[in-house]
Every structure is written in structure tokens, then in C-alpha cells.
Amino acid sequence: MLSDFWLSFIPLFIAFDVFGVLPLYIRFIHRLDDSRRKRNLRDSLITAFFTALLFVIMGSKVMEYLGISIEDFLIAGGIVLFIIAAKYIIVGQDENLEEDEMYGVVPLGVPLLSGPAVLATSIIIRNQYGFTYFFVSLALNLVICAVVLKFSQYIIKYLGKRFVEALSKVFSLIIASIAIMFIRKGLQGLS
């Protein structure tokens, strides 16, 4: 029983990759006031939770009906991430970036937190260990995400805004590379 929990929790923890999301999250929120940070964090966690939950409950049948594969999600998520990263690398910080109320939902909630890896892993866990193990693992992983992202402001204070802005350019290049990897894996899966 305990081993089933760990076998469902650990793959989701790896799929969420909250520490990989942290640099992009910092880039999005580093100029926000505290209330907008909290709202974006709340929105991203709620979006990630319900996306994964609904995907497990309804996703397989809907995707099958519509002819959408996990590879399609990898490609679409990769394209969205690449556009965001490339825009930031080329144009620089968008002063209105923080004004967009939807950044907690897209791209933070989906595809960064609850992206193709989480969705695919969620279905596998539900199929192998049952809905209860999936649900508990999802909830606990999102609590971990909440704690890590909530304290990201201390990282900003420690490193300083200029350093975070410079570092975010480098991370944008890495994120663009990850986006290309998503697209490549999606294309490989289709062939």
C-alpha cells in the first residue's frame, strides 16, 4: 500500500518539475505586488489541479473521440513555450506582462505546471494504481509546488532584480530548448 503511494507520487513529482518551473515563474512575478503574486500562484495551482483532474476523468475518451494524442499535447505545449521564450529573448521584458491576468492560468498553470508530462503520467497512475492514489499524489505534489513557488520572492530578494532579469534571459534560452525538445518528442511519437 505504501509502495503504491510512492510509485504514484514520485513520477508525478518528477513530471511537475517545480524546480524547473521556478526560474520562469520568478520571471513572470518578480515585478508584481504581493496580492497579484498570490492571485497568480492561486490561479496557476487551481488550473493545474483541475486540468490534471479533468484530464484523468474525461481526457482519454475526449482525446480519443477528437483524435488528439499525447504527442499532440507535447507539440502544442512546446510551441506555446517556444513563442513565450523567443519573444522574451528577442524583445526583452514586456512591461505589460504582469498586467495580463491570465498568466496564472496560461502558461503557468498549463503547460508549465500541468503540462503533457503531468497529464500523461496522471493517466498512467490512475490506470495502474487507481483514482485515490492519483488524487492524493496530485494534491500533495501541488502543495509542494505551492510552497516552492510561494517562497520564490525570497530568492528574488536574495539575488536582486537585475540578476534575476539577466538570469531570466538565460533561462528563456533553456526554456526555448525544452520547448523544442517537447516538439521533437511529439513529432517522434507521431512517426
**Would you say residue 77 has pLDDT above 80?**
no
- Average pLDDT of the segment spanning 10-33: 82
Q: Flag the least confident range among 39-43, 123-127, 161-165.
A: 161-165
Q: What is the mean pLDDT of the chain?
A: 83
Confidence of residue 9 (pLDDT cuts 50, 70, 90): very high
CB 39 within 8 A of CB 105: no
pLDDT above 90 covers a percentage of the chain that reads 29
Whole-model pTM: value is 0.71
Q: How far apart are CA 183 and CA 74, in angstroms?
A: 6
**Would you say residue 48 has pLDDT above 90?**
yes
- Residue 143's pLDDT is 98
C-alpha cell at 25: 515563474
Q: How far apart are CA 2 and CA 102, in angstroms?
A: 38
- CA-based nearest residue to 47, from 137, 139, 110: 110
- Average pLDDT of the segment spanning 76-87: 77
**Would you say residue 26 has pLDDT above 50?**
yes
- Residue 186's pLDDT is 82
**Would you say residue 156 has pLDDT above 90?**
no
- Residue 95's pLDDT is 47
CB 123 within 8 A of CB 60: yes
Q: State whether residue 33 is helix, strand or coil.
A: coil
The values of phi and psi at residue 17, to 5°, are 45, 55
Q: Which amino acid is at 109?
A: G
Q: Which residues of 121-131 are buried (b: 16+ CB within 10 A; e: fewer)?
A: bbbbbbeebee
Q: How far apart are CA 168 and CA 187, in angstroms?
A: 28
- Residue 75's pLDDT is 84
- CA-based nearest residue to 52, from 164, 144, 135, 161: 135
What are the Cα distances from residue 184, in Å, to 20, 21, 65, 84, 188?
19, 20, 25, 18, 6
CB 147 within 8 A of CB 24: no
